Amino acid sequence: MTTHTGWRGRFFEDFVVGDVFEHPLGRTVTTTDNIWFTLLTQNTAPLHFDHEYARRTEFGQPLFNSTFTLALVAGQSVTDISQNVFANLGWGEITLPHPVFEGDTIRSRSTVEAVRESKSRPNVGVVTVRTTGIKQTGETVIEFTRTLLVYKHGFGPNYEEK
């Protein structure tokens, strides 16, 4: 019998500018996701949770809460990008070119845009990625950049001496 250690994520040295990561998990979003997230975040826009109201808009149906879309797509990227994160430094250039509706399936990918040593912390490096969320129609529903500090090999809670 062989014991296999699970994926522990990438460390700073594993990132190369231009690398593209097709994140492995997609997710079909539901009415419940939209309503719960909207109410949990105290968003009172009826476009997200009142089907009758939404039916009378140009969309004709509830529009998915865009901050949920951001959270979902960022979450999909964790396994490849930030499993070994020390901290997120910033989010930028967030665009939402196409709407998400209940029943859409969202997948994502990230491209490494920049990699550099941290000037103040020798155990981490700075990585910037551009992440794109795409629904089943092929339309991009969100794009954003994220800059984060990632542990170097030999550091961080997920590191184990061999």
Taking only the tens place, the pLDDT of each residue in 30-69 is: 999 998 998 899 998 999 989 999 999 999 999 999 999 9
The structural domains of the chain, ordered by start, are 12-151 (3.10.129.10)
pTM above 0.75, yes or no: yes
Taking only the tens place, the pLDDT of each residue in 143-159 is: 999 999 999 998 888 66
**pLDDT for the residue 156:** 82
Alpha helix (H) residue ranges in the chain: 31-40, 51-55, 66-77
The total of other beta-carbon atoms located within 10 Å of residue 35's CB is 17
46 three-class SS: helix
**pLDDT for the residue 33:** 94
Burial pattern 16-32, b for ≥16 Cβ within 10 A else e, equals eeeeebebeeebebeee
Taking only the tens place, the pLDDT of each residue in 112-125 is: 999 999 999 999 99
